[in-house]
Structure 1
């Protein structure tokens, strides 16, 4: 485990009670004043997460509508831009995690990213407040006369979106790793992750309901201004908690060690066979007792064991180099190789969610969104039903479902089982979306509204809620399951990167959804700008077919995967060595 630092009176004093580092008088002194980490930090981390998430949801959920109504961008193009933005904001966490793990640490990355999103929200608020930064509004009766934004207006808009997406990406999962680092016990870390996701979804729901309502019914400038203020408040709370946090000190890029294994393996490729004798391998600076207990690297991916093989005479003790690695470094790379197929199944799990989220807004814009005689629900707000479904499901599962399953089966649901249930519910949600879109199109045809792009179909938009709710329940199973799996199965030095892997999946899913929509537009006539002339139901059926094929791939990968750190009763380890990390 990495060395930590405590910040007392501005001085860095190493701690030791919770880590395997030598005890000294300086480390004892730090505990005399106060102890960092633990549940004391939970309010600061949670309030920060809530503030940043509300701000992010407030602008992101309604971005498609903002582009259509204030920048005169066509429907499908606006949905595509929104998908790219979502993909980017979910891609940036992996970069932030690597920087945090390797160089700067979580605290600096979260602080800097929050400030970057603050700058982006300033620009976004200006685009909504200053007429010179956006084109004239469209005349809905004369769509062909809509004014196109100038290059300067596009530059300001895209600069704002880039900054807020970069800032949101740098905080979303890095703060999850930082929160988990405050705890030593796996049980406490698991509890934190449950609360993390619950807070994430509830805060997103608040942003989508409250902020989006202000944007649509009061003013875009005020709505974005609220996002700006809430983001600033979240950053302030996070900085206030600095002296209570357990600060994990980065120990250089762990990817260098992984690259060293690859280079060393290639360097020794001419070695005819790999030894099965423990004494022939290099273990680094570990105790004699540990070395006696270790029997060698694992048997899987045997060719990589060459990297740790001491095949040349040594005048003195061997040392790590680009031609000699430790057994632990070899095993770390093997872990990543083993889990990659499972990780890849999540890409096509996220793709349908990205497509459903963007097309649902276009569907809602064409449907009756009234709740009672006076209240008209904004189209972007309908995403809240997915988020609330996830938040409620998480609460129910943690309080009732998981304890019942553990009592009946005498063991908890494994991460792989949770992810598998999520796959099934995701497919069910897409099938339900297809059926509801078929009903909407029947209404369009029966009222001869096919060629009227701005007409409202006499069908309640609340028909969109059931499929969103089903997909939300699926998210409650597969997202926390994936985060827990990666956090526990990844090498210790890649813990922040592990929690960001789920974000990278979402990013890949949104990028792939953009590419898939482009392909569908070129090959079929299912997605014209006037969705009343299209066949969005066929798009959803295509996603059902893709989901079924991906689920079969997932089942295959999960059957072949063997846990390393997650308890799995009844499974025997085939490893020759269970190296500690």
Structure 2
């Protein structure tokens, strides 16, 4: 097929394909060629018999305890209220529906159906899940975001005014902290997927978030604001004690752990409220992710306008207390929905499963990988990974197929997952490998995004921010234009761009996730060019002997608006892409890649600032980003980021072009958004 200029195919839903199975190996109806049959015949008979016993044993273990709990489950069905009283137990114990799924699959009189991942609660119930309970999670997100940005949006000015740090030091400090916030998302996602489940993970980390905000409010009032009302750019603060500064950093990093730890899990938990096997809900996930990011920005709007004004005026404690109250309300609302959530059980440690694949493949380094029909997989619709559907074999990364290749040595240690893995487990590792290059290319975008919380604010702080009647606009409040841009762009995208693009592409959702992410990179590059042009003009209007330029701060509006518009394409696209393209067992971990990108983007910004300052600071030359921006060249730094983003865009186009979508086994082709067979999908997915 000739390569065309368009990113990828549809990724709204993982590819779902039904296929026949032999008693031992997966065999397609078209695979009865002499070559494929000979690949089975050459396997020693004792290996075949041992594998049959092993697979039966796995199937029995997957349904363990079903018969003993049958009466109890019947009683729970008659008393649904009792079933809802313990959401923690529901997240990790009930496996009765796994056996029911297998029984349904084995019934020759029924048509094949997709295996639902909602096993702890009946997905057909009208009393749980759906948009009503998902809306509660959106409100929770808005309130938590209000609380978080009540701290983060003015943190760089708090460090310079209250703790008396220099501009470059404060900018790097904010980048380190912001990077830690989003790096903590990996911790929360890992615990969610592996052990705690999504509900418990969100509850625990939101509690840590509340504790951090409470400690910050007390520390600021008792140790840092001396005299009271200082830090308003008029009244200087007395240098704080080591004790006060230490507690301050402890509190903000507790906030980082609490907020970052629950964010990706909350997004995935919200997506869990929609059943993929329900035709009415199957298309709701992409819409939810758009509204999730909408709620995030809507919540931060109050922080970036009202709260930032009080903090800029020296009322730091009041601003932090409002953030604390918002976080407490968010936690209370989250707990109120406990009895109506849909729960998906944890699937075990995904990192150990991936490590097992690489270890098993390494042990069989000299063993050629078997053909697709000769790879090891368990019977039934459910994989050996609890709570996860099977994934069909893909042709990439063939060296990992060695982990699922059966050898004679496997007959002596069939219970050792470090020597023999299933196809689904191998494909889980392959999915991560395929997603990582796409994820890596989003880090440069996050470097652009990081400037909005640091250098954009410092740039605005040395511009004319006075409007009518002497009212002064806080520099951090300019991010309100970014938020409004996100809110407006989200509405325009869903109600204008999608229908319009759908007419040209013939696809209901208009643009694919890969296309949107690419567009986000382009707009981000334009945002940095706009910021550079504004800084160039600002330097021309510098008043000698004055800190501020006479150029109006509203010249920053285009760069904020462009960043906001790019967020809708990049971050919403990332949330949808990583959720749709990840196996069932790593949904939260995959969603956390979006936040991990922001984390590394902030750390990358630190390295870039330090490198630029080290190179450009020579003798009496203060460098591009000195403490006094009027004597520097921040515009050159912005142009540098724009150039790096352009290079990153080229890398992204190359990787997006070759991306192949995940293929989940168990449902009709019409549910996978395109109806292509595996061979056709491999040819068209990711074309750029």
Using structure 1 for the length normalisation, give the TM-score: 0.89
Separation in structure 2 between the aligned mates of residue 39 and residue 428 of structure 1, nearest angstrom: 36
From the superposition, tell whether residues 189 and 218 of structure 1 become closer, same or farther in structure 2 (CA, over 3 Å): same
From the superposition, tell whether residues 61 and 289 of structure 1 become closer, same or farther in structure 2 (CA, over 3 Å): closer
1:533 alignment partner in structure 2: 631
2:370 alignment partner in structure 1: 275
Superposed counterparts of 1:268-417, under 5 Å: 268-271=364-367, 273-276=368-371, 278=373, 280-286=374-380, 297-312=393-408, 318-319=414-415, 321-411=417-507, 412-417=510-515
Separation in structure 1 between the aligned mates of residue 382 and residue 123 of structure 2, nearest angstrom: 31
Separation in structure 1 between the aligned mates of residue 132 and residue 301 of structure 2, nearest angstrom: 26
Separation in structure 2 between the aligned mates of residue 211 and residue 35 of structure 1, nearest angstrom: 38
Separation in structure 1 between the aligned mates of residue 382 and residue 567 of structure 2, nearest angstrom: 46
2:220 alignment partner in structure 1: 128
Give CA-to-partner distance per residue, 1:18-54, whole Å, 9 cap, x none: 9964689xx9997999742222312321121111110
1:87 alignment partner in structure 2: 179
SS of corresponding position for 1:377? coil
Superposed counterparts of 1:441-456, under 5 Å: 441-444=539-542, 447-449=543-545, 452=546, 455-456=547-548
Higher fraction of helix: 1
Separation in structure 2 between the aligned mates of residue 288 and residue 553 of structure 1, nearest angstrom: 37
Separation in structure 2 between the aligned mates of residue 109 and residue 329 of structure 1, nearest angstrom: 24
Give CA-to-partner distance per residue, 1:455-474, whole Å, 9 cap, x none: 22111101001111011111
SS of corresponding position for 2:431? helix
1:511 aligns with 2:589: no
Deviation, structure 1 residue 408: 2.5
Q: Contact between 2:160 and 2:167, CA under 8 Å: does it hold in 1?
A: yes
From the superposition, tell whether residues 181 and 373 of structure 1 become closer, same or farther in structure 2 (CA, over 3 Å): same
Separation in structure 1 between the aligned mates of residue 540 and residue 214 of structure 2, nearest angstrom: 44
Superposed counterparts of 1:434-445, under 5 Å: 434-444=532-542
2:334 aligned to which of 230, 234, 238: 238
Q: Contact between 1:128 and 1:221, CA under 8 Å: does it hold in 2?
A: yes
Q: Which 10-residue stretch deviates more, 190-199 or 70-79? A: 70-79
Give CA-to-partner distance per residue, 1:518-553, whole Å, 9 cap, x none: 111111110111111100000001011101110111
SS of corresponding position for 1:297? coil
From the superposition, tell whether residues 109 and 29 of structure 1 become closer, same or farther in structure 2 (CA, over 3 Å): closer
Separation in structure 2 between the aligned mates of residue 142 and residue 10 of structure 1, nearest angstrom: 53
Q: Contact between 2:153 and 2:453, CA under 8 Å: does it hold in 1?
A: no
Separation in structure 2 between the aligned mates of residue 62 and residue 166 of structure 1, nearest angstrom: 19
Q: Contact between 1:72 and 1:135, CA under 8 Å: does it hold in 2?
A: no
1:57 aligns with 2:152: no
From the superposition, tell whether residues 192 and 296 of structure 1 become closer, same or farther in structure 2 (CA, over 3 Å): closer
2:553 alignment partner in structure 1: 461
Separation in structure 2 between the aligned mates of residue 58 and residue 37 of structure 1, nearest angstrom: 31
Deviation, structure 1 residue 298: 2.5
From the superposition, tell whether residues 20 and 503 of structure 1 become closer, same or farther in structure 2 (CA, over 3 Å): farther
Give the alignment's Cα RMSD to 1 decimal.
3.2
Superposed counterparts of 1:140-289, under 5 Å: 148-185=239-276, 186-217=282-313, 219-271=315-367, 273-276=368-371, 278=373, 280-286=374-380
Q: Which runs of 5+ in 2 are unaligned?
A: 1-13, 15-61, 64-72, 105-118, 277-281, 385-389, 617-622, 664-671, 683-688
2:647 alignment partner in structure 1: 549
Separation in structure 1 between the aligned mates of residue 649 and residue 257 of structure 2, nearest angstrom: 32
Q: Which 10-residue stretch deviates more, 226-235 or 30-39? A: 30-39
2:114 alignment partner in structure 1: none
From the superposition, tell whether residues 19 and 94 of structure 1 become closer, same or farther in structure 2 (CA, over 3 Å): farther
From the superposition, tell whether residues 171 and 521 of structure 1 become closer, same or farther in structure 2 (CA, over 3 Å): same
2:161 alignment partner in structure 1: 69
Q: Contact between 2:161 and 2:233, CA under 8 Å: does it hold in 1?
A: no
From the superposition, tell whether residues 18 and 47 of structure 1 become closer, same or farther in structure 2 (CA, over 3 Å): farther
Deviation, structure 1 residue 154: 1.5
Deviation, structure 1 residue 406: 0.3
Using structure 2 for the length normalisation, give the TM-score: 0.76
Separation in structure 2 between the aligned mates of residue 295 and residue 354 of structure 1, nearest angstrom: 37
2:659 aligned to which of 539, 546, 561: 561
1:115 alignment partner in structure 2: 207
Deviation, structure 1 residue 250: 0.8
Q: Contact between 2:203 and 2:331, CA under 8 Å: does it hold in 1?
A: yes
SS of corresponding position for 1:191? helix
From the superposition, tell whether residues 172 and 140 of structure 1 become closer, same or farther in structure 2 (CA, over 3 Å): closer
Q: Which 10-residue stretch deviates more, 433-442 or 472-481? A: 472-481
Give CA-to-partner distance per residue, 1:433-463, whole Å, 9 cap, x none: 101100000111xx324xx4xx221111010
Separation in structure 2 between the aligned mates of residue 165 and residue 288 of structure 1, nearest angstrom: 37
Q: Contact between 2:158 and 2:231, CA under 8 Å: does it hold in 1?
A: no
SS of corresponding position for 1:439? helix
From the superposition, tell whether residues 221 and 315 of structure 1 become closer, same or farther in structure 2 (CA, over 3 Å): closer
Give 1 or 2 for the bigger CA radius of gyration.
2
Separation in structure 1 between the aligned mates of residue 591 and residue 505 of structure 2, nearest angstrom: 28
SS of corresponding position for 1:208? helix
Deviation, structure 1 residue 113: 1.1
Q: Contact between 1:72 and 1:138, CA under 8 Å: does it hold in 2?
A: no
Q: Which 10-residue stretch deviates more, 4-13 or 39-48? A: 4-13
SS of corresponding position for 2:162? helix
1:432 aligns with 2:538: no
2:569 aligned to which of 471, 474, 477: 477
2:5 alignment partner in structure 1: none
From the superposition, tell whether residues 28 and 434 of structure 1 become closer, same or farther in structure 2 (CA, over 3 Å): closer
Q: Contact between 1:138 and 1:147, CA under 8 Å: does it hold in 2?
A: no
From the superposition, tell whether residues 288 and 45 of structure 1 become closer, same or farther in structure 2 (CA, over 3 Å): closer
SS of corresponding position for 2:369? coil
